Structure 1
Amino acid sequence: MLSLLVSLLVTIPLCYAPAAFVTFLVRERACKSKRVQLVSGASPLAYWASTYLWDALLFFVLTVLVMLTFAAYGKDASKVFMMRWDALLGTWGLLVSYGLSSLPLSYLYSFAFDGPSAAQISIAGVNFLSGFGFVVAYAVLSTLKRTVKFAAKAQHIFRLFPPYLLGDGLIRVSSEFYVREVMGMDREGGVLAWDVAGRGICYMCLEALAYLGLVLVVEYSPAAGVRAYADRRRLWLGGWSDRDLIEMLRASRGPGEDKDVKKERDKVCRAMARASGSEVVGGEQQDEDEEEVDTVLISDLTKVGSDVCINGAGKSTTLQILTRDLQATAGKLTVKGKPITSSAVCRLVGYCPQTDPLLPLMTVHETLLFYGGLKGIGSEGARAMMDDGEGESALYEAAAAAMSAVSLGPTENQTAGTLSGGNKRKLSLAVALIGGPPVLLLDEPSSGMDPGARRSMWEVISSLSASRSVILTTHSMEECEAVCDRLGIMVGGRLRCIGTSQHLKGRFGGGYSIEVGVEYNSKPLILHAWQT
């Protein structure tokens, strides 16, 4: 009886262990570090494979410590789990297979959370319910004559959860010891028999593969909804043709579209028409079965383009789509004619998100080396140059150049978590700059900086614009005038106007600005008089 109680109680702390592994993953996703890693060239498959292998290794060490804890209590106390070789292998097999299956299931749970603390507590609670709770529930239901059949059916659902399989397996190991030692009945196969620990070990190994597959499905298919699924299926089966893209974007043309936006639209249409071999008539693409072409894309970003919006207008959402953080409803994204999903194209893009994509325990220098390595800096020809160390020196030189560009040299050996808010933004920009990518996506890069640091960053961005394209989002018209060659203003997710700063001022900056100071009580009267 004591061994049954021990088997049940051992399940409780092991329910909390997998939840501890997801805190770093959630934190990494919330601060956009994971997204920047993927944009820098890391593949989702490599990301999850390395994460799983490392976590599985740590969990394997945990299982060894658990078995050593059993042994530390002596032969009499641990004989249920360690007296015979089959009991030892069965118990250890349950623990190891539990770790292999519970880790990917916890990864799946983690997609529902944005905060690491909430994720850890919630996942630990779910594991406790599906482990200790389901084991107790089955034990109670199976003892009542009226609920025996229901318990048998419910057990099939319970076995989908690794914590239940662990608790049930340990209890069966204890029961097998009682049957063998007290009743004198020795089952064929011992503890490793199918009805003892064998079923639980096999089920959890299969669930490990299934849950890992689901993690990859969620990773590669982040969008939800029937239409998004249909669009992704169409992409997988053959991709979007130019005509498909035009049909999808026809509805995006809003009422009262600005003439500059329409001009930009037609400009892109002509480029698409030349690429697809269709005729261009009157500034609009004409096919045999098509009357008109509508696209809303910005072309010819040869220097710095700015996206100016109020909060919630869609500027950060646009960059998230460009970096595959959000799934586009329709259309295609290409850089130099290649899909943005390819790793080769990812290395051509530098991304500075709105939040700082920094790992707090890595130093400034280590952070830049990490992201530079993901971009493959120094990897080309590195094997041939290994004896001279030239490949490694190229990576260090790139990191030093990025630090120098944003004036982070004095903080080279300081951990990212101890940096000030302004220096964190500088490091985030340096991460985007390392390797000199030809396309930069900067989401409010100067937020949180003091005026001097902000102007210094503007100078850096302006100097970079001569050799690459930059898309920058901001709330500040001062920042736009300082660094941008073209501006686009978004409202409600739509591009409302586009052009140079001087052009937009000439079109929309006419009239007068009046400042009136009035008492608070008379404000409604003044507003009414002004409106009438």
Structure 2
Amino acid sequence: MKYTIRMVVQNSMRTDRIRNPSWTPGSYVSSNKNQRYNRGFINLQESIDRAIIDIQAGKKVKEPSVQLQAFPYPCYFKDNFLNSMSSSFPIVLMVAWVLFIAAFVKKLVHERELRLHEYMKMMGVNPSSHFFAWFIESACFLLVTIIIMTIILKAGKVFPNSDGFIMFLFLCDYGFSILAMSFLISAFFDRTNVAGLSGSLVYIICFFPFIIMVTIESSLTFSTKNLLCLFAPTCFSYAGQYIGYYEGQNIGIQWDNSYVSPLSNDTTSFGWLCWLLLIDSLIYFTVGWYIRIVFPGKYGIASPWYFPVLPSFWAECCGFNTCRKDSGRGLLFTNIMLQSGNIDHKNKGNEGFTSEGEAELEGLPVGVSLHSLTKLYGQTIAIQNLNLNFYEGHVTALLGHNGAGKTTTMSLLTGLYSPSSGSVLVYGKDMQTHMDAVHRDMGVCMQYDVLFEHLTVKEHLLLYGQIKSPGWNKHELNQQVRNTLKETGIYAHRHKRVGMLSGGMKRKLSISIAFIGGSKTVVLDEPTTGVDPCSRRSIWDIVTRHKTGRTIILSTHHLDEAEVLSDRIAFLERGGLKCCGSPFYLKEKLGQGYNLTLTRRVSD
């Protein structure tokens, strides 16, 4: 006789697997989980079997009743706290890092928003040095936090069985990926608050693939898991779950089991996930670096998308600075144009151009040369086909009304913007292809003050003096800083933070920074803006005193300032050069004397 007993699912065991994927120590004596057959199935089977036997035997057969007893199991530790939090532990660890992402992204974008990053590049700071400064500062902050977190996890007995050093390395690995993700996210934003909020949001979204992995974990292949683990928060949370599995087995994560999965038929391990975190970090840093170079944002000169294969890129990385083959020809062409004063009428940017004679400029070394420089903002022409030379030992002033193109020209000279066409040669080096080499010998005072609010006046000069002249010893640097402070009249304020200075004092500090370190090319964009008349005269003296051996370019609105300071004046109008020459030459050539208007009141 054959029969089948169908029980409800609540009173039967699942038959699709032999055991649970993750083993944990325990007696497994539980009427709710492991001994459901005792809750009716066995009793019903026994009653039916007895009835069949009695019918076949024709009499009531007495047999002992069915009894069950579990096998003995050794003593084990049951961590109720770990069992209750094992499912929520990955998300708790992930959320703990949200504020770090927001803070690191905001710090990077804040410096770009204030144009501090570009200003440091203009003063000769290598972008890699600026990056490592941010990286070391952020990493030290993270390291302190990781040490505290490791102590809490071990001393608080959250993970009492795991190796403390492995936990520390695991958190450091994830901290490195946090820095890499912050660097990547910051490359897409120019506004501080938007960047901080978006960074936190992107970080949280990158955790969602972990939920998918946990839900369909058994059906995922090794490649699919690796692909989902390209999101660092997902990879970190998945690795944290492995630690929870080992702690549930009273083993903890150790060196000998880090590459062995605690789950049956699993293709990944804790050790491999740690390597994936490191790979994620390298990918984030590489992509972020590439985006920053190809898409620098509002400020900076963009490189072509194929720049890694250009010989000039590797020459710059290796420290070999070579000029373009056509730079000498361009210099000769520009010299002929400026000295002859005969410009083709098709050259609209220099229409009506007037220059001093050939004898006056003969033999002077050319410091900076502009070749057919053009800058477009959409359909608006800011600079159109500008050709001009700036000579060493001369102060050349760019004069013009608001909107004439002075500030745009200065921005192109310093590399803040990239030209739409044309080129800028600084001592024979193309600004676009040899920017780092050009910036090492350039001092800049921008139209606005770009300063660090938390540094003092003296600390600013010490910082930029060391950047511009790394060969100076401590005594020489301090002496140069002291002389610069006295020349600009801010020696008495040397220990004040920049946030406590007036606008005129900040302006003097910006000019001091431009001249310190012996820069060969000095660009001063409206240097006396917001300065009182007395300080204005002292700034004039500073410019005049330091022009020997330098190519000084300044822009101004004031004709008297240009006349006092400049050896040559270039008048700009609507983005084009109208006339250029020494003040005496321009007066002689274009001056029409004075007009005197008299008004007489007639009596009744």
Task: Tell me if both proteins adopt one fold, taking TM over 0.5 as the criterion.
Answer: yes
Which string of whole-angstrom CA distances, capped at 9 and with x for unpartnered residues, describes residues 136-177 of structure 1? Answer: 45556x38x9xx77x998865543332232223223332444
The answer as to whether partners of 2:570 and 2:581 remain within 8 angstroms in 1 is yes
The answer as to whether partners of 1:94 and 1:200 remain within 8 angstroms in 2 is no
Amino acid at match of 2:460: T
Please report how far the alpha carbon of residue 84 of structure 1 lies from its aligned counterpart in structure 2 after TM superposition: 2.4
Amino acid at match of 2:450: P
The answer as to whether partners of 1:309 and 1:475 remain within 8 angstroms in 2 is yes
The answer as to whether partners of 1:90 and 1:197 remain within 8 angstroms in 2 is no
- Hey, what does 1:298 align to over in structure 2? 389
Amino acid at match of 1:458: W
Q: How far apart, CA to CA, are the structure 2 residues paired with 1:138 and 1:253?
A: 67
Which string of whole-angstrom CA distances, capped at 9 and with x for unpartnered residues, describes residues 394-437 of structure 1? Answer: 10011011111211011011112221121111111111111232
**Could you tell me the TM-score, scaled by structure 1's length?**
0.73
Q: Does 1:165 align with 2:165?
A: no
Amino acid at match of 1:101: S
- Hey, what does 1:127 align to over in structure 2? 203
Which string of whole-angstrom CA distances, capped at 9 and with x for unpartnered residues, describes residues 498-526 of structure 1? Answer: 234465567777699999xxxxxxxxxxx
The answer as to whether partners of 1:38 and 1:44 remain within 8 angstroms in 2 is yes
- Correspondent of 2:175 among 88, 91, 99: 99
Q: How far apart, CA to CA, are the structure 1 residues paired with 2:528 and 2:173?
A: 48
- Hey, what does 2:469 align to over in structure 1? 376
Which string of whole-angstrom CA distances, capped at 9 and with x for unpartnered residues, describes residues 443-480 of structure 1? Answer: 22222323332333233223333453211123344432
Please report how far the alpha carbon of residue 103 of structure 1 lies from its aligned counterpart in structure 2 after TM superposition: 0.9
The answer as to whether partners of 2:392 and 2:549 remain within 8 angstroms in 1 is no
The answer as to whether partners of 2:324 and 2:429 remain within 8 angstroms in 1 is no
Q: Relative contact order (C-alpha < 8 Å, sep 6+): which is higher?
A: 1
Which string of whole-angstrom CA distances, capped at 9 and with x for unpartnered residues, describes residues 187-225 of structure 1? Answer: 995345472422331122123333333444455555689
The answer as to whether partners of 1:335 and 1:345 remain within 8 angstroms in 2 is yes
Residues 450 and 244 (structure 1 numbering): CA distance in 2 closer, same or farther, change over 3 Å?
closer
- Hey, what does 1:452 align to over in structure 2? 534
Q: Does 1:425 align with 2:507?
A: yes
- Correspondent of 1:392 among 461, 474, 482: 474
DSSP 3-state at the match of 2:454: coil
- Hey, what does 2:382 align to over in structure 1? none
DSSP 3-state at the match of 1:190: coil
Residues 47 and 187 (structure 1 numbering): CA distance in 2 closer, same or farther, change over 3 Å?
closer
DSSP 3-state at the match of 1:454: helix
- Hey, what does 1:204 align to over in structure 2? 277
Amino acid at match of 1:121: L
- Hey, what does 1:190 align to over in structure 2? 257
Q: How far apart, CA to CA, are the structure 2 residues paired with 1:253 and 1:83?
A: 82
Residues 315 and 352 (structure 1 numbering): CA distance in 2 closer, same or farther, change over 3 Å?
same
DSSP 3-state at the match of 1:498: strand
Please report how far the alpha carbon of residue 230 of structure 1 lies from its aligned counterpart in structure 2 after TM superposition: 6.9
The answer as to whether partners of 1:91 and 1:170 remain within 8 angstroms in 2 is no
Q: Percent identity?
A: 24
DSSP 3-state at the match of 1:362: coil
Q: Which runs of 5+ in 2 are unaligned?
A: 1-83, 262-267, 315-321, 335-342, 366-384, 598-604
The answer as to whether partners of 1:260 and 1:499 remain within 8 angstroms in 2 is no
The answer as to whether partners of 1:108 and 1:214 remain within 8 angstroms in 2 is yes
DSSP 3-state at the match of 2:444: strand
Amino acid at match of 2:210: V
The answer as to whether partners of 1:26 and 1:116 remain within 8 angstroms in 2 is yes
Residues 7 and 219 (structure 1 numbering): CA distance in 2 closer, same or farther, change over 3 Å?
closer
Q: How far apart, CA to CA, are the structure 2 residues paired with 1:103 and 1:346?
A: 28
Residue range with higher mean Cα deviation, 442-451 or 333-342:
333-342
The answer as to whether partners of 1:358 and 1:416 remain within 8 angstroms in 2 is yes
Find the structure with the greater CA-based Rg. Answer: 2
Q: Does 1:411 align with 2:493?
A: yes
Q: How far apart, CA to CA, are the structure 2 residues paired with 1:51 and 1:429?
A: 26
Residues 156 and 447 (structure 1 numbering): CA distance in 2 closer, same or farther, change over 3 Å?
farther
Q: How far apart, CA to CA, are the structure 1 residues paired with 2:231 and 2:399?
A: 48
Superposition RMSD in Å: 4.5
Residues 212 and 256 (structure 1 numbering): CA distance in 2 closer, same or farther, change over 3 Å?
closer
Residues 226 and 31 (structure 1 numbering): CA distance in 2 closer, same or farther, change over 3 Å?
closer
Q: How far apart, CA to CA, are the structure 1 residues paired with 2:497 and 2:252?
A: 62
- Hey, what does 1:315 align to over in structure 2? 406
Q: Does 1:240 align with 2:316?
A: no
- Hey, what does 1:84 align to over in structure 2? 162
Residues 196 and 91 (structure 1 numbering): CA distance in 2 closer, same or farther, change over 3 Å?
farther
Residues 514 and 163 (structure 1 numbering): CA distance in 2 closer, same or farther, change over 3 Å?
farther
Residues 100 and 314 (structure 1 numbering): CA distance in 2 closer, same or farther, change over 3 Å?
farther
Q: How far apart, CA to CA, are the structure 2 residues paired with 1:187 and 1:457?
A: 67
The answer as to whether partners of 1:162 and 1:204 remain within 8 angstroms in 2 is yes
- Correspondent of 2:566 among 464, 484, 507: 484
- Structure that is richer in helix per residue: 1
- Hey, what does 1:360 align to over in structure 2? 453
Q: Does 1:498 align with 2:580?
A: yes
Amino acid at match of 1:211: Y
Q: How far apart, CA to CA, are the structure 1 residues paired with 2:437 and 2:570?
A: 29
**Could you tell me the TM-score, scaled by structure 2's length?**
0.65
The answer as to whether partners of 1:28 and 1:359 remain within 8 angstroms in 2 is no
Q: Which runs of 5+ in 1 are unaligned?
A: 273-293, 381-390, 516-532
Residues 354 and 176 (structure 1 numbering): CA distance in 2 closer, same or farther, change over 3 Å?
farther
DSSP 3-state at the match of 1:302: coil
Residue range with higher mean Cα deviation, 426-435 or 351-360:
351-360
How many residues are treated as equivalent by the alignment?
Answer: 467
